[in-house]
Chains A and B, each alone.
Chain A
Amino acid sequence: MSDATSRPNLPPLRLHVPEPPARPGEEANFDHVTVPPAGEARRPAADAAPADFRDLAYGLVRVLDDDGRAVGPWDPRLSPDRLRTMLRHMALTRAFDERMFRAQRQGKTSFYMKCTGEEAIAVAQAHALAPDDMCFPSYRQQGLLIARGCPLVDMMNQIYSNSGDKLMGRQLPIMYSEKRFGFFSISGNLATQVPQAVGWAMASAIKGDTRIAAAWCGEGSTAEGDFHSACTFSAVYQAPVILNVVNNQWAISSFSGFAGGEATTFAARAVGHGIAGLRVDGNDALAVYAATEWAAERARTNQGPTLIEFFTYRAEAHSTSDDPSGYRSANEGAAWPLGDPIARLKQHLITTGEWDEERHAAMDRDCAEEVKAAQKQAETNGILGHGMHQPFDTMFEGVFENTPAHLLEQARQMRDEREAAGI
């Protein structure tokens, strides 16, 4: 029992523990989500002062309206060819996810994470950034690699930890590292990449380079101290960086309220840090592109960092090890008011006469074939569990630039043990 003194004239204090609007067995409820009309949000100049973003940090930048028309000042006016390419990259990302999810279920690898429903963010951002801008992704931006042209076979080799895996079987599936595509090594430790992106951007500025950096983390990870560190450093040094928060409503089983999202937005974190902040419809590829292009211009012209919250929904399980039916309403995905990013871009292209159902179906078939062919090729390099695909003593290499004596000794000991055991 506590030894607190009793004050009978005051009400007892109560601890507030957030609770999502709907749990399993309940109807999905998005009454708390306000969706302003497309085209309503203003588009400030790229050199606007950070103090002038309050409305944009609490609003929602949207371009595509319910009929699939592009409206308002944020319309990036992209060519139909560019839009079709973006659509294809999004479809290819989804097809890749489907296939790799199934590969995990078939026991070909240990683990996978889909980005279903969030494809517009990574793909449209990859299109808006320059190819040599440096990306510091979380584990759910595989669309960056696909849009930047990374061979699917290379991604699959990593997922299978096979003989073609250039990370030599050291890393959990999907923790890619692709320097040639400006894609920083993914870490399992959440939000660590955000201050690292700021450091990369500071380095670029120190050297008088023209390249900028971008970081991604989920809304759940914004609760990590590293996120605050990144915001502070980026603001202090006016680092040429874009800090992207992908608010997909869920951090495994915890709804965004547990990241501090009940009474405010994640874009609003920018207001307190003195950073330009935008809140954007994450399922609207045109809005995603436009906001990123705007933030990139701001960074590239030494106007400082931008924090963008992409408002979206994690349409599927957190990972192959997760079952969302244990914590959220079964019909939430269908009830999500911002719809599906692929369907919305498709509708826009059809509305403008640049696309049709037949071509879309053919594209989906093409994507499925492309993924299937890549998978077949990757599997010739082996799948997880079918023996060691890398020489066992490679595990001692690369801890340091030059392998020190104690590691050489441990490698020798392992060789001797295996030899003695007849392996």
Chain B
Amino acid sequence: MNMIQAINSAMDVMMERDPNVVVMGEDVGFFGGVFRATAGLQAKYGKTRVFDTPINECGIIGVAVGMGAYGLRPVPEIQFADYIYPGMDQLISEAARLRYRSAGEFTAPITVRSPFGGGIFGGQTHSQSPEAIFTHVAGLKTVIPSTPYDAKGLLIAAIEDNDPVIFFEPKRIYNGPFSGHYDRPVQPWSKHPASEVPAGHYRVELGKAKIVRPGAGLTILAYGTMVHVALSVVEEQGIDAEVIDLRTLLPLDIDTVAASVEKTGRCLIVHEATRTSGFGAELSAQVQERCFYALEAPVERVTGFDTPYPHSLEWAYFPGPVRIREAIKKIMKD
């Protein structure tokens, strides 16, 4: 399966297993979603379980919170992460706090799916990576898969989770892993081992990172599309790096991260989101707090720049192979 098929399969499996799972969002019903992630679900489960909504993100999230309070397990889609902002009050003030403020009387077991990230000439409003806005909110979990296998297992775990989960899907790698070399053809997922996806139910536990490439000289922390870009640099350059795919940003698997940096003594953080107050800042702070005496060099960050995502200058903005390579050289110098 490619990542879209894996995500579709996760919803299919969960709708089959749990009659309280409902899927909703703009164009997700009859049409099956602008990225085809919900294709076929309405025909299979009916209009009252998979339905189109008005173009109103505040309403989509607000209604999902109310359904969650009733006892359903809604999986709302926000068409692009760039458009999640009208729903922010409902996410931050309501979904994230409902369990806490009601001392567990009411909960919001919702999973908000949303395609995110750039590298697709999406310009300013089809490319953003707003994960740090959500990791800053107490009460939300933030999950970002990087392979079809993880996407299905993590999405099933997210839907089964009784807390609100923000599930960001890196749309650049919906159809195949992206090396960061935009001038080379992208390999389809079918050539990648993680495209082997079981048809039935399985979970990839939330809050657990994955070491996707073991190494001893340097730890690279990444998630989503950037896992593949970092991996391709490491392979091309023959660097003995340990690449960790965080998979869940909150709760963060800091133990796996710290153990790796303790071993390698060096840490590079890669994300596509803008730099200042990005999730990399939190990672850098925690690595510094926990691994200070093991560090052989300052923790480095390769990120998007602190600008809106530009259209024609995309490949200058994107934290691609050249920038990652230079950062690795700098860290390894000492």
Contact = CB atoms under 8 A, between A and B. Distances in A.
A187 B93 contact: yes
B48 interface: yes
B78 interface: no
Contacts of B22: 206
A91 B63 CA distance: 35
Interface stretch (A125-133, A197-205, A279-287, A355-363): A197-205
A199 B63 contact: yes
B62 A206 contact: no
A177 B101 contact: yes
Contacts of A405: 251, 254-255
A400 B141 contact: yes
Nearest to B255: A405
A192 B89 contact: yes
Contacts of B66: 136, 195-203, 213
A398 interface: yes
B103 A170 contact: yes
B198 interface: no
Interface string B27-58: 00000000000000000000011000110101
A43 interface: no
Nearest to A215: B66
B62 A199 contact: yes
Nearest to B70: A203
Given A192-B94, A202-B63, A185 B162 contact: no
B94 A187 contact: yes
Nearest to A235: B54
A225 B138 CA distance: 24
Contacts of A184: 69, 106
Which of B66, B101, B106 has the most chain A CB atoms inside 10 A of its CB? B66
B98 interface: yes
A11 to B, nearest CB: 37
Contacts, number: 145
A115 to B, nearest CB: 21
B105 interface: yes
A197 B207 CA distance: 32
A230 B63 CA distance: 8
A406 interface: yes
Which of B89, B141, B207 has the most chain A CB atoms inside 10 A of its CB? B89
Contacts of B70: 134, 199-200, 203-204, 207
Interface in B220-261: 251-252, 254-255
Contacts of B71: 203
A167 B101 contact: yes
B49 A168 contact: no
Nearest to B107: A401
Interface in A162-208: 166-168, 170-171, 175, 177-179, 184-185, 187-189, 192, 194-207
A196 B60 CA distance: 10
Given A166-B103, A187-B93, A196-B94, A229 B162 contact: no
Interface string B130-155: 00000000110100000000000000
A232 interface: yes
A252 interface: no
B88 to A, nearest CB: 11
B48 A206 contact: yes
Which of A200, A228, A232 has the most chain B CB atoms inside 10 A of its CB? A200
Given A203-B71, A206-B72, A232-B54, A198 B101 contact: no
Contacts of B62: 192, 194-196, 198-199, 226, 229-230
A154 B92 CA distance: 28
B65 A185 contact: no
Interface of B: 22, 48-49, 53-54, 56, 58-59, 62-72, 74, 86, 89-90, 93-94, 97-107, 138-139, 141, 161-163, 207, 251-252, 254-255
Interface of A: 134, 136, 166-168, 170-171, 175, 177-179, 184-185, 187-189, 192, 194-207, 213, 225-226, 228-230, 232-233, 236, 398-401, 404-406
14 contacts: A166-B103, A170-B103, A177-B103, A195-B59, A195-B63, A195-B90, A199-B62, A201-B66, A226-B58, A226-B59, A232-B56, A398-B100, A401-B99, A401-B162
